[in-house]
Structure 1
Amino acid sequence: MKCGFLLIFLVGSCHGLSRKHWLKNLNFDNTENWDKNRVPCANDRIIIPNQSESVYVQTNTTLREMVLPVDGEVVLGQNIVINFASDAAVDLECNGEDLTYSRNKIKNWFDPANWKDEDVNVNVETERVPCTIDQVVFPSKSLFHVQLDQSLSIATMKIGTEAYTTKSLASFFDSPSGLKQFERINAASIELTQKTQCDDITGCVCGNDKSVIKDKICGLYECPNIACQSPLRAVGGCCNLCGGMLTMNYYESKFNMELFKQDMYDTYSSAEYIGTRDRKKRDTATNDGVDLYISKVTGDKIQMVLTDKVPGTDNGKNASDKARKIKDDLAKNNRYGVYNIYLQATSAATGKQNQKGDMSAGAVTGVVIAVIIILVIVIILSYMFVKRRPLSRTWFKKDEPLDASLEMAPGIAVVDLSFDNPMYDSPTKENFYMDPSRPFPNLDDDTSFSAGSPIDDDRSHSILSFSNPLPDDLPDRTLKKTAPAEEGGVKAFTNPLPEDLGDLGTPTVMDPIQSPDTKKGMEDETDA
């Protein structure tokens, strides 16, 4: 181990890999597996529901009663004994109540909530899941149920005390114990590269921030609510966060990721940082609850994410302040070979905010008020527009002339085809033809009408009249009342047309329905 540190500080070419521990198990003594978040004691009655996960009892225990499922499973470790006692005096500190086993769902490999880094608190969700450069550990004396639905590659893997290779791990997956603990979808596999260090002095990229794997990881993770304004989203992060974030470029010839991490963690991490190996530095470290995480991300940049555990509306304030201090210190001391340091920090808190891009309650309220105001303005303007109407009309009313004009193209002749309607503006009279029962008006011998003569305005025999369009200089052919013809004859009248119109030919009678008597009468009239 001392050799390793000497290599790190003197040579700078040995970069240890991160070690990720699986957190979830089926153990009887895991408080997360019980509905009351505590381990059962001697006076308790425990209930294991149907269709729940297996229960692994790895230590001797005493219970008052155990209710077993119809289709469940209780696995006892080697030489493990369960005692049942009816005397409450066995454990005076145990009040005794019903506890229900709550583990009823398999856990997915790619869920960030199922992993924890051995040294630091990783606040970038995709990098909590083991990367290709990470070592994976499944703790001893535990039973697991892991869903693996996609093939992957990691550095090393250890289950309990046994380290595996790619080949031996595949054999374990096919064993009874492996089939019980690892549910592989579509024969998913794990490749072990057996690397123990990063070969790049500037650091190795995790790779989980690429879109395909990132979408899978973020789809499994449930983000917590936060309480700051203008939250941040780290590269590779699934959730918004409160705190500070620094991104920077580096000179390849000068930057050393391992040295940079060690100095930043030892100088700026809180006393809770478990990776600090110097006890004196840990004792003098601040107690501001700030978590610091450094990694190399896609795009060949160094990312530093700071969060804190301050509750309530001040969450992220300590982390933001420390991020500003780190930026100032790095700007003054460029011995690490970093440049273009960009700072992002959250502002004062205003209330809880939802995650994955959702707006805060205050923002939602503001949007609702703005929408209401806009709707009111639109309604008022619409009402005023309809009431007043613009000068250039787009509507017209009945009996109202249109204010419109027609413009003809040059060179087009305009021909006036209009005429005066002789019925227009004439006084409306009662038309006697509308009532056939009324007698025809009596016309005396001297009763006549001619062009331009008005008709007496006596409504008893008034008719609609109009001016004769024939010329005024025609001979007087006044229509007069004639004596009735003999029976079978027709009424005669004088032709009002002039006699000098010339020979127009003999008219042809076109009435095929005339009776013989009528035809004979017409011939007699012609002879006469």
Structure 2
Amino acid sequence: MGALGRALLWLQLCAMTRAAYKLWVPNTNFEVTTNWSQNRTPCAGAAVVFPADKMVSVLVREGHSISDMLLPRDGEFVLDSGAGFGAADAGRDPDCGAAAPALFLDPDRFSWHDPRLWRSGGAARGLFSVDAERVPCRHDDVVFPPDASFRVGLGPGVGPVRVRSVWALGQTFTRDEDLAAFLASPAGRLRFHGPGALSVGAEACADPSGCVCGNAEVQPWICAALLRPLGGRCPPAACRDALRPEGQCCDLCGAIVSLTHGPNFDIERYRTRLLRGFLPQYQGLQMAVSKVPRQNAGAEADTEIQVVLAETGPDGTGGAGRLARALLADVAEHGEGLGVLSAAVRESGAPVGDGSAAGLEGSGMRAGLAGGVAAGLLLLLLLAGALLLRGARSFRWSRREEAAPAPFVAPLGFSNPVFDVAGSVEPPSAPQVENSSSVSRSYFVNPLFAEAEA
């Protein structure tokens, strides 16, 4: 069986075992414009400079004419059929002029823990994942692009990155021994770096109710990588009393439905029910459904199903709250058949641009001044009562009379910066392996660096 056949068979096995897989997006290809300092590939006659103290694998698909090239201390060119380099005089291309050398950007800038650099396989329209689950979870299969070169930083080494399997360079790694041998090889050292460790061998999620992702320990590093372009801070929320779902780095506007379930609950069936029967009726919403650790579990189950309904428009329309209450009604009517035991809802407040609250508060103050101390106290009491009613945004339904009310979580106050990856990163196509006869590898070692590895 050829490499392409093995890849297709592997993906079919993923579907059969209910395993999810995540695709690595960025690459170190020579022709990708975002890999160069001038945001374009080197023009004819340009000088090309790679970071001298780095290691990198670079796929070259076309022919290029350059005046000179400064190589890194260790690396490889992977030459596609017909690709190569030729000598040319500096400034041969009149559009180049006397431009500065073309600098290949730092290949170590791509981190495993950056949610923007992954794509979930088979994601449906209208669905998103909370930030911690955008990075490969412990039950996921991981696929690196077979038609691109890449380099991945494995993080600070606080704990091993553990997944079900890794597919790279036409090989599937399901045992730590095989993966460790690959990572120690020249090809592995060019593609994976950093103090972190990568481990495989976890089982696929076999629980119909879903499995917890398992990235809670590394979520600080996930959030740091996600927010680095924003200076490490979440942007301000577009609503009052914004919510922060479990696994999310920043607060968002919308609603969270928390479900406790019985043994008959099937998360895939429930997700499909919401995606087809409810979400299309509400515009401007995105939905995430996953199993998460239960907060303040006590004697109850230590996990729950979290349904996040996020408002994506600049001016929230309140659709998330309406959909959340529709889901409560659905659970009240069909909960037993769905395997749902109880449900609770939390909603964010009104959009920040809404002036009703400020107007009410100002009129109360003016009436207090005009009506004297007694009238002022009365208005303050009325205002306090109104605020209490306004803040009571938790709803709950349960089939069990003895079910305890859901704990109220104090809202924080920021919004989620992104639900999608940055536009500068190009998503890969479905994994396909090139014919090995059309690709050759050319290793280079810079003689200026005595410490270069053979």
**Normalised by the shorter chain, which TM-score bucket?**
0.5 to 0.7
1:176 aligns with 2:186: yes
1:245 aligns with 2:256: yes
Structure 1 distance, partners of 2:265, 2:218, is: 29
Aligned to 2:286: 291
After superposition, the C-alpha distances for 1:215-242 in whole angstroms (9 at most, x for unaligned) are 4433443165254122211112222223
Question: For structure 2, which runs of at least 5 residues remain unmatched after alignment?
Answer: 1-7, 228-232, 295-302, 359-454
1:264 aligns with 2:274: yes
Aligned to 1:81: 84
Distance verdict in 2 for CA 1:71–1:203, change over 3 Å: closer
Structure 2 distance, partners of 1:83, 1:326, is: 64
Aligned to 2:168: 159
Aligned to 1:523: none
User: Could you state the TM-score of these two structures normalised by the residue count of structure 2?
Assistant: 0.58
Question: For structure 1, which runs of at least 5 residues remain unmatched after alignment?
Answer: 9-13, 270-284, 352-361, 363-528
Q: How does 1:307-386 map to 2 (within 5 A)?
A: 307-310=310-313, 313-314=314-315, 318-334=319-335, 335-350=337-352
Q: CA RMSD in A?
A: 4.0
Aligned to 1:214: 219
Identical counterparts, % of pairs: 26
**Structure 1 contact 151–189 (Cα < 8 Å) conserved:** yes
Aligned to 1:446: none
Aligned to 2:195: 185
Distance verdict in 2 for CA 1:76–1:306, change over 3 Å: same
1:113 aligns with 2:116: yes
1:16 aligns with 2:25: no
Distance verdict in 2 for CA 1:327–1:77, change over 3 Å: farther
**Structure 2 contact 59–77 (Cα < 8 Å) conserved:** yes
Structure 2 distance, partners of 1:137, 1:55, is: 17
CA positional deviation for 1:123: 3.3
**Structure 1 contact 44–96 (Cα < 8 Å) conserved:** no
Distance verdict in 2 for CA 1:64–1:317, change over 3 Å: farther
Structure 2 distance, partners of 1:192, 1:286, is: 41
Structure 2 distance, partners of 1:174, 1:218, is: 29
After superposition, the C-alpha distances for 1:281-324 in whole angstroms (9 at most, x for unaligned) are xxxx57945332211111321001133543xx326855555444
Q: 1:101 aligns with which of 88, 99, 104?
A: 104
Aligned to 1:467: none
Structure 2 distance, partners of 1:37, 1:155, is: 36
**Structure 1 contact 109–147 (Cα < 8 Å) conserved:** yes
Structure 1 distance, partners of 2:325, 2:98, is: 53
Counterpart amino acid of residue 338 in structure 1: V
CA positional deviation for 1:328: 4.0
After superposition, the C-alpha distances for 1:32-64 in whole angstroms (9 at most, x for unaligned) are 423455556669776545446636133114456
Greater strand percent: which structure? 2
Structure 2 distance, partners of 1:168, 1:249, is: 40
Structure with larger Rg: 1
After superposition, the C-alpha distances for 1:131-189 in whole angstroms (9 at most, x for unaligned) are 22111111112223223323243222211432113122121112111122222527x34
Distance verdict in 2 for CA 1:55–1:251, change over 3 Å: closer
Structure 2 distance, partners of 1:298, 1:73, is: 43
**Structure 2 contact 57–191 (Cα < 8 Å) conserved:** no
Distance verdict in 2 for CA 1:265–1:129, change over 3 Å: same
After superposition, the C-alpha distances for 1:438-464 in whole angstroms (9 at most, x for unaligned) are xxxxxxxxxxxxxxxxxxxxxxxxxxx
SS at match of 1:347: coil
**Structure 1 contact 25–145 (Cα < 8 Å) conserved:** yes
Larger RCO (alpha carbons 8 Å, 6+ apart): 2
Structure 1 distance, partners of 2:146, 2:36, is: 21
SS at match of 1:116: strand
SS at match of 2:247: coil
CA positional deviation for 1:118: 1.4
Count of residues in correspondence between the two structures? 319
Counterpart amino acid of residue 256 in structure 2: M
1:58 aligns with 2:60: yes
User: Could you state the TM-score of these two structures normalised by the residue count of structure 1?
Assistant: 0.51
**Structure 2 contact 108–152 (Cα < 8 Å) conserved:** no
Q: 1:131 aligns with which of 132, 137, 143?
A: 137
Structure 1 distance, partners of 2:322, 2:104, is: 44
Distance verdict in 2 for CA 1:286–1:46, change over 3 Å: farther
Distance verdict in 2 for CA 1:259–1:123, change over 3 Å: closer
SS at match of 1:303: strand
Structure 2 distance, partners of 1:76, 1:54, is: 11
**Structure 1 contact 292–307 (Cα < 8 Å) conserved:** yes
Distance verdict in 2 for CA 1:336–1:218, change over 3 Å: same
Q: How does 1:409-424 map to 2 (within 5 A)?
A: none
Structure 2 distance, partners of 1:97, 1:289, is: 46
